[in-house]
Amino acid sequence: MHSPINTVIVGYGLVGRVFHAPLIRHTHGMRLKGVVSSRPDDVHADLPDIDVYPTADQAFSDPEVDLIVIASPNDTHTSLAMAALQAGKHVVIDKPVSLDGEELEHITACARHHDRVFSVFQNRRWDADFLTLKGLLEAGRLGDVTRCHLHFDRFRPEVRDRWRERPGPGSGAWYDLGSHLADQAVTLFGTPRAVYADLATLRPGGGAVDYFHVLLRYDHHRVVLSSHALSAHDSLRYAVDGTRASWIKHGIDTQEQTLRDGGTPDQPGWGEDPKRGVLHHGDTGDSEPIDNARGDYRAYYDNIVAHLNGEAELAVTPEQAREVMRVLDAAHESSATRCEVVL
């Protein structure tokens, strides 16, 4: 039997409160020991049984803490991760891991030097529809992929006064949603040969990127990553064309909304996506609804527990994070220069 992994979340905004806290509390082998926050009353209103640290340094110096989860604004990720690693803690960083590849290399080197585990929270590898797509590809049901669209559209016409939507380092949809889509593309197909990107602010009064259209060039297929904050229709999520069939999926995984609504990962229906995608067979013209796999974001933390206990390889590695960051950086360069960036 292994002792529970004592975990502290740095930051109790949307990401720390809605995602990390409930997932950690419902993952076997983990214990949410505390949260770093300047608002202890808000934390204790939700979590009366945990510690609240006024500063990150106090959490990092606590000898009972094993793992630090960084869920603070993106421009603080690198400095906090480095400090936690230097204090001898294992570290999980919410995506995007850092602001650029150079910062990521510093984090990776620090983790290696201190012999600590470092990973990036890429929960959408465990979306129900993404797991379904992986299964279809592994079974060869689409044949060889020729074109793949990964979309993450929303309808949010009002620009809210929060750091994600204000101009500044690490803000905007490309860091926020693009990190998910780039990770899914790299997970499925590896690192692209080149990137061509259009990043823009299209909402009136917007200050950060709220639209992107990014083309990833591979040797024998193309992948498009797309998001728009003013898309009011039933948004496309995946459109994947292969030499045998195409798979089309609308709608988004239900886990985030369940958590936002105050649900928990142990409730009935967790991870179920009732909106089925359709497999269109090229040879017969037939259409086949495909049941979704069951999603579960806890699988990320299950893997962290197993890895720290020496029972599994790390699912989201620093090497994978580096390849995703190469795509993020290349898109910024491409959009600024209006040129394809070769990787």
pLDDT digit string (tens) for 75-93? 999 999 999 999 999 999 9
In a domain, 258, yes or no: yes
CATH of the domain at 75: 3.40.50.720
Same domain, 72 and 220: no
Beta-strand runs (E) in the chain: 5-10, 30-36, 51-53, 67-70, 90-94, 118-121, 145-151, 194-200, 211-217, 222-228, 236-242, 245-250, 277-281, 287-290, 341-342
Whether 117 and 233 map to the same domain: the answer is no
* 50 belongs to a structural domain: yes
Please indicate, yes or no, whether residues 165 and 280 belong to a single structural domain of this protein.
Answer: yes
Owner of token pair 């995946």: 238
Distances (CA, A) of 292 to 133, 151, 154, 259, 332: 9, 17, 22, 20, 34
Whether residues 9 and 108 fall in one domain:
yes
pLDDT at 132: 98
**Final residue belonging to a domain, choices 64, 90, 121:** 121
End position of a domain, from candidates 75, 92, 121: 121
> Pairing relation of β-strands 287-290 and 341-342?
unpaired
Number of domains in the chain: 2
- Same-domain status, 44 and 84: yes
- Per residue in 201-259, pLDDT tens? 999 999 899 999 999 999 999 999 999 999 998 689 999 999 999 999 999 999 999 99
**pLDDT tens across the length of the chain (343 residues):** 799 999 999 999 999 999 999 999 999 999 999 999 999 999 999 999 999 999 999 999 999 999 999 999 999 999 999 999 999 999 999 999 999 999 999 999 999 999 999 999 999 999 999 999 999 999 999 999 999 999 999 999 999 888 888 888 899 999 999 999 999 999 999 999 999 999 999 999 998 999 999 999 999 999 999 999 999 986 899 999 999 999 999 999 999 999 999 999 999 999 999 999 999 999 999 999 999 999 999 999 999 999 999 999 999 999 999 999 999 999 999 999 999 999 9
Q: Which of 121, 145, 178 is the last residue of a domain?
A: 121
* Secondary structure of residue 194 in the 3-state scheme: strand
Q: Residue 317 falls within a domain, yes or no? A: no
Structural domain containing residue 210: 124-296+326-342
What's this model's pTM, rounded to 2 decimal places? 0.95
111 and 149 co-located in one domain:
no
The answer to the question of residue 313 being in a domain is no
